[in-house]
Chains A and B, each alone.
Chain A
Amino acid sequence: MKRFISQTLIAAAIAGCMVATGNAQDDPLEIGVLLPSPIADVGWSHALNEGINAVKKKYGDEVKVNTIENIQEGPDADRIINKMVGDGNDFLLLGSFGFMNAGLRLAQRNPDLSFIHASGYKTADNFSPFTAKYYEGAYLMGMAAAELTTTKKLGVVGAFAIPELISTINGFALGARSIDPDITVDVVWINSWFDPAKAQDAAKALIAGGSDVLFSNAQDTPSVVTVAEEAGAYVFNLNSSMKEYAPTRYLGVVKTDWAPFFVASVDAHIAGNFEGKNEWLGMTDDVVVVEDWSSDISADMAAQIEATQADIVSGARHVYDGPLTNQAGEEMVPAGERLEDGAILGIDWHVQGVNTPLPQ
């Protein structure tokens, strides 16, 4: 009964302490996971769930994972997060940008809990946003696309024009144009993470417009991938492999393997040294992984891609190395310089070669 009363401001803090001390004994650590879409076989929530499974595997009976999937962002989600905290979850994984403000409020009220939050930008002592450097993988995909395109036009179906996605499209364009500077990229924003019908329409429109390699940017279903296979266009996507939906035309996947980061975060929470900070993870951290490459890519190109990948991992090379120009042809990063992390995290411009203007 205590937990029900606990949800008022002061009592919540007290309950948090009680549960936290309880953990020192035999109770398993309760991990609350809130996901914005169904876990399904592929996609964003699937990838997050795989990461959590690694935590379960490591800790076994010492953790109890309470997963709630397919919850839309908004005031109702706030209530559910509140309830999860009230019910004794001490470590929370919030799987979507829109859970940020509610999560942060609860984190500040419950200093003994730890939160990791996907795609956000606000931090607190016990609240870490995490994002993948997808652009690193997209750059390599761009190189492969440059070899396989005959129309020299690439197409992107994008969810929302937020920095995470913009920086990924830039990476794709930069990779392609590093091989062939005549290549251009068209983008259709569908303003949804999860709208198969709209995503398919967008993919068809891009193909009709001449694109012969598509990038399904943060779409949670194989919608774009299946359309590409039918139309004979190459395609790649993020988070988890969708090769079985495009057996002949699958370019590859920019996979996210959240397991190392999730396990490390839970380790830190149990050890009592969880530290809230912006977790921006890429190939170096083994979080961004490219695989399932198309067999149509030549051995030469494969070698070139591998070399570039090694350079990115070693830090010798960065996707956002200058010189970089924006769509209007203005120089944004001079030669010899590198766009700093903060500017990439908040990027609101496309590089030259991306045809479609950003929605303003």
Chain B
Amino acid sequence: MVITVLSMLERRPQPSRAMLILAPLIAVVLSVLVSSVLLLILKKPLGTTLYAFFIEPFESFYSISEIFLKFGPLLLIAQALAVGFRAKVWNIGAEGQMIIGAIAASAVPVYFVDNSSFWLLPAMMVLGALGGMFWAGIAAFLKTRFNANEILVTLMLSSVALQLLYFLLLGPWKDPMGFNFPQTVMFQDAALFEPLFSGVRLNSSIFIPLLFTVGIWLLMEKTFGGFKLVVGGLAPQAAAYAGFSAKRSVWISLLIAGFAAGLAGMSEVAGPIGQLQRSVTSGYGYAGIIVAYLGGLNPIGIVFAAFFLSVLHIGGDIALVTASLPISAVHVFQGLLLIFYLSVHTFVNYRFKSPRTAEQSHRT
């Protein structure tokens, strides 16, 4: 079945611009149709639910700010992961790199509880980035030195990172006034990003992913270095022949991802969370992978993908409350959208064979 469908497709000479724009719209329509059935079975109001998902996130200033709060770390991580994916370096451990970044950054307010220096936040940013890079660097070292599979190493290092987090929260970094609960002290204001507007959680850390995006776009689209990176991963031998190093691709890809994930972790503890606690990542490390692919591994595509996923997420949270949808139904709806989007996205690069070309391919 799959093969017959695939044999009906042919690669477009050029990716279709029209399909690129239509794909998300078609995906929305298809998933709305399928989930309408689901909602009917659940006896939930269709209109209210769709309204909650797609309109309500834009209706209040607070919701819009929450979209961007979600957008920041997703964008940051997805941009960095896409660099690696284009170079065929499969880092799926951004979650762990994010945790280590959050831990490293938290060392500052944990050990300098009463300090209100201006340099607190910059120090946390540096430590967060270095922490993430160190964690990703382990995978890079094992890959380049022993050819250890980076998929396994990065994934397992995420579990190690989580255990390290638990260890610190239950032991040395536990809030002395926190009744033994697994969390650090609440950070002082100097260790927190300034909210952009009063009453919202969106803060100045949003500029980090935006600047990072510009940087990645310049690197990948405009420089020879970006080209070498991609070739090094794509065709190691060709790259070696041309004098580009495949090892360098691995190192650079992983270090960039560690840098970004570490900063994302730092932005969470120094932003909406305000302390180090058990759940610091909100799953951004894994969601970043989806965003990277939804965006076609393209820096600009990823901006839209991250925004789209953020809206979907905020809409889901709203639907829980206003449409009293169970959270599993929210997940199903979000999953449907992604699956339909990825399916429809195939038609950006492929199209159904026209009768004539089909005939030709039969003859040959």
Residues of chain A touching chain B, judged by Cβ–Cβ distance below 8 Å, are 1, 4-5, 7-10, 12, 66-76, 78-80, 82-84, 86-87, 97-98, 101, 121, 160-163, 166, 191, 345-348, 359-360
- What residues of B have a CB within 8 angstroms of the CB of A80 in the complex? 317, 320-321
Cβ–Cβ contact B182 & A160, under 8 A: yes
- A12-B199, A161-B170, A191-B166 given; A75·B268 CB < 8 A: yes
User: Which of B60, B170, B182, B278 is in CB contact (< 8 Å) with A5?
Assistant: B60
How far is A97 from B274 in the complex, measured between Cα atoms in Å?
16
Q: Is B63 an interface residue (CB 8 A)?
A: yes
Cβ–Cβ contact B179 & A79, under 8 A: no
Q: Is B339 an interface residue (CB 8 A)?
A: no
- B69, B200, B279: which has the most chain A beta carbons within 10 Å? B279
How far is A12 from B198 in the complex, measured between Cα atoms in Å?
12
Cβ–Cβ contact A162 & B272, under 8 A: no
Cβ–Cβ contact B324 & A66, under 8 A: yes
How far is A101 from B192 in the complex, measured between Cα atoms in Å?
15
B206 vs chain A, min Cβ distance (A): 14
How far is A348 from B170 in the complex, measured between Cα atoms in Å?
11
Cβ–Cβ contact B317 & A69, under 8 A: no
User: Which of B61, B275, B278 is in CB contact (< 8 Å) with A8?
Assistant: B61
Which A residue's beta carbon lies closest to that of B313? A76
User: Which of A12, A86, A345, A360 is in CB contact (< 8 Å) with B171?
Assistant: A360
Residues of chain B touching chain A, judged by Cβ–Cβ distance below 8 Å, are 56, 59-63, 66, 69, 166-167, 170-171, 178-182, 186, 197-201, 268, 272-275, 277-280, 282, 313-314, 317-318, 320-322, 324, 326-328
A283 vs chain B, min Cβ distance (A): 22
How far is A166 from B60 in the complex, measured between Cα atoms in Å?
44
- What residues of A have a CB within 8 angstroms of the CB of B313 in the complex? 76
- A8-B61, A12-B199, A161-B170 given; A68·B320 CB < 8 A: yes
Cβ–Cβ contact A70 & B327, under 8 A: yes
The 10 closest A-B pairs by CB, nearest first: A9-B199, A4-B60, A7-B62, A74-B279, A8-B199, A75-B272, A346-B179, A83-B321, A4-B59, A359-B170
A284 vs chain B, min Cβ distance (A): 22
A317 vs chain B, min Cβ distance (A): 25
Cβ–Cβ contact B279 & A10, under 8 A: no
How far is A166 from B182 in the complex, measured between Cα atoms in Å?
13
- A87-B321, A191-B166 given; A8·B273 CB < 8 A: no
How far is A226 from B69 in the complex, measured between Cα atoms in Å?
43
Cβ–Cβ contact A70 & B328, under 8 A: yes
Which A residue's beta carbon lies closest to that of B318? A83
Q: Knowing that A12-B199, A69-B327 are A-B contacts, what are 9 other residue pairs whose CB atoms are under 8 Å apart, sorted by A's residue number?
A: A4-B56, A8-B198, A66-B321, A67-B324, A68-B327, A83-B317, A83-B322, A84-B321, A87-B322
